[in-house]
Amino acid sequence: MQPPAQQPTTPATNMYHPPQQAMMGGGLFSLHKFLMIGVILILIAGLVSVLPDFSGPPGDDAKAEDVESYDDFERLMDTFATIIGMVGVGLIGYAFVREAYDEDTTTPALRITLLILGTIMLLQLLGSGFNLTVSL
């Protein structure tokens, strides 16, 4: 007679701590999520940059304070639009670089392409984005 087969013991999982595979599964990072957030931020930047055009510039008989106030508002909205657009482009560039280092990417050519695109976007952002000046 054979001894009864022992059941394999599974380690008890604590309900407060998810398994390591779930933590490493990239739940916080998703290429599609970062691309969509970046595109939405770029669209919001486009909307913010045209906000001064909705009311239009002051008329010819406007006082100097009105013209100066409008110019300040337009400069402020352009600055906000530039900052929001830079964040959007930065997120898209980060998503490309992060996806290039993911082992699930199917081909090396895709990984190299994503790395080059992300690097170009981030370098373009660094090269042109740090000349923001807000004068009061």
User: How far apart (Å, rounded) are the C-alpha atoms in residues 94 and 122?
Assistant: 8
Tokens of 8: 């394999």
Examine residue 21 and state whether it is found in any structural domain, yes or no: no
105: phi then psi, degrees, rounded to nearest 5: -65, 135
Examine residue 99 and state whether it is found in any structural domain, yes or no: yes
64-100 helix and 31-49 helix, angle to the nearest 10 degrees: 170
Examine residue 124 and state whether it is found in any structural domain, yes or no: yes
User: How far apart (Å, rounded) are the C-alpha atoms in residues 34 and 37?
Assistant: 5
Examine residue 13 and state whether it is found in any structural domain, yes or no: no
Examine residue 24 and state whether it is found in any structural domain, yes or no: no
Give the chain's domain count.
Answer: 1
User: How far apart (Å, rounded) are the C-alpha atoms in residues 12 and 31?
Assistant: 33
Q: Which residue has the higher pLDDT, 24 or 65?
A: 65
Examine residue 55 and state whether it is found in any structural domain, yes or no: yes
Tokens of 97: 């670089």
pLDDT tens for each residue of 74-113? 888 888 888 888 888 888 888 888 777 776 656 778 778 8
Residue 94 structural domain: 30-129
**pTM of the complete model beyond 0.85:** no
